[in-house]
Chain A
Amino acid sequence: MQGTSDAKDCILRLRGISKQFGAVSALSDIELDVHAGEVVALVGDNGAGKSTLVKVLAGVHQPSTGTIEWCGERVTLDTPSRALDLGIATVYQDLSLCENLDVVANLFLGQELSPFALDEIQMEVRAWTLLQELSARIPSVREPIASLSGGQRQTVAIARSLLLDPKVIMLDEPTAALGVAQTAEVLNLIERVRDRGHGVILISHNMEDVRAVADRIVVLRLGRNNGVFDADTSQSDLVAAITGATDNSVSRRHARTTASQEG
Chain B
Amino acid sequence: MTLPESNSPAQKLDRSDTRLRHDEGLSGALRGFIDRVRSGELGLLPVAVGLVVISIVFSILNPVFLAPNNLVNLLFDASAIGFIALGVVCVLLLGEIDLSVGSMSGLASAMIGVLWVRSGLPMPIAVTGALAAGAAVGLVYAMLRNRFGMPSFVATLAGLLALLGAQLYLLGPSGSINLPFTSPLVRFGQVMVMPDWFSHLLALLPGAFLLVSGLRKMSLRSAANLSYETASLLILRAFTLTLGLQFAVYYLNQGRGIPWMFAIFVMFVMIMHYALKRTKWGRSVYAVGGNPEAARRAGINVERIRMSAFVLCSMFATVGGILGAARLASASQQAGTADVNLNAIAAAVIGGTSLFGGRGTAWAALFGILVIQAISNGLTLLNLSSSLRYMITGGVLAIAVIIDSMARQSRASHGRG
Binding site for B on A (CB under 8 A): 80-81, 84, 92, 94-101, 105, 109-112, 115-118, 121-122, 124-125, 128, 137-147
Binding site for A on B (CB under 8 A): 13-14, 17, 19-20, 217, 220-221, 224-226, 278-281, 283-284, 286-287, 289-291, 293-295, 297-300, 358-359, 411-412, 414-417
Given the contacts A96-B291, A97-B291, A124-B226, A110 and B17 also touching, CB distance less than 8 Å: no
**Total contacts A-B at CB 8 Å:** 103
* Alpha-carbon gap, A140 to B21, bound state (A): 10
* Pairs across A and B, CB under 8 Å, 22 listed: A84-B299, A96-B294, A98-B294, A100-B290, A100-B358, A100-B417, A101-B287, A109-B287, A109-B295, A110-B298, A110-B300, A111-B299, A112-B280, A115-B279, A117-B279, A118-B278, A121-B221, A125-B13, A139-B17, A143-B416, A145-B417, A146-B416
Chain B residues with CB under 8 A of A128: 13-14, 226
Chain B residues with CB under 8 A of A143: 416
* Alpha-carbon gap, A36 to B290, bound state (A): 35
Contact assessment for B278 and A144 in the assembled complex, using a CB-CB cutoff below 8 Å: no
* Alpha-carbon gap, A169 to B387, bound state (A): 63
Chain B residues with CB under 8 A of A147: 414-417
Contact assessment for A118 and B280 in the assembled complex, using a CB-CB cutoff below 8 Å: yes
New contact pairs (15) apart from A98-B295, A101-B290, A121-B221, CB-CB < 8 Å = A95-B294, A96-B297, A97-B294, A98-B290, A100-B286, A100-B358, A101-B287, A110-B300, A115-B281, A117-B278, A124-B226, A125-B224, A128-B14, A137-B17, A142-B14
Contact assessment for B286 and A98 in the assembled complex, using a CB-CB cutoff below 8 Å: yes
Chain A residues with CB under 8 A of B417: 99-100, 144-147
Contact assessment for B293 and A96 in the assembled complex, using a CB-CB cutoff below 8 Å: yes
Residue of B nearest to A126 (CB): B224
Residue of A nearest to B299 (CB): A110
* Alpha-carbon gap, A5 to B293, bound state (A): 36
Residue of B nearest to A129 (CB): B13
* Alpha-carbon gap, A181 to B219, bound state (A): 39
Chain A residues with CB under 8 A of B299: 81, 84, 110-111
The 8 Å CB contact of A146, one of B14, B281, B415, is B415
Contact assessment for A139 and B416 in the assembled complex, using a CB-CB cutoff below 8 Å: no
